[in-house]
Amino acid sequence: MSKVVLIASDQGKFEVEEAVARKSQLLKNMIEDTGVEEEIYLPNVKSSPLKKIIEFCEHYRNNDPPEIEKPLPKNSLKELVDPWDEQFINIPNQEELLELLLAANYLDIKSLIELCCAKVATMIKGTYILR
């Protein structure tokens, strides 16, 4: 399987298998247009969230994560998502979570966008008790 080289905005360089990169709709389209010979520069993605995104895409390389029920019936992801997903998205730093969400949105990875949004929603639900 061929490799794709991704360059983050802060010059971090990541070599990933093409199948992993194709989990991103943006990268899939770029690969189909230009091939995998040239490095792909991602001006809107820093190294830290890109590393996390690659981890997510490698985990789901051969399948898609299960759909997350909406609206969220609980204040916790523990009963709503796969244990791996719950551990993966357990990011205590809100700024890092937002960076991951923005990078997933830029790269057009729907399942990761939904997981990030579900995490944000549970944080909001846990903070505000509606009466």
Q: Which domains does the chain have, with CATH numbers?
A: 3-127 (3.30.710.10)
pLDDT digits (tens, 9 = 90+) for 91-125: 988 999 999 999 999 999 999 999 999 999 888 87
The model's pTM is 0.90
What is the pLDDT confidence band of residue 128, given thresholds at 50, 70 and 90? Answer: low
| Separation between Cα atoms, residue 58 and residue 28, nearest integer Å | 15
What is the pLDDT confidence band of residue 131, given thresholds at 50, 70 and 90? Answer: very low
pLDDT digits (tens, 9 = 90+) for 52-82: 999 999 999 999 888 888 888 877 788 889 9
Alpha helices in 2-109 (DSSP H): 18-21, 25-34, 47-59, 83-88, 94-107
Give the CA count within 13 Å in the CB-facing half-sphere of 58: 11
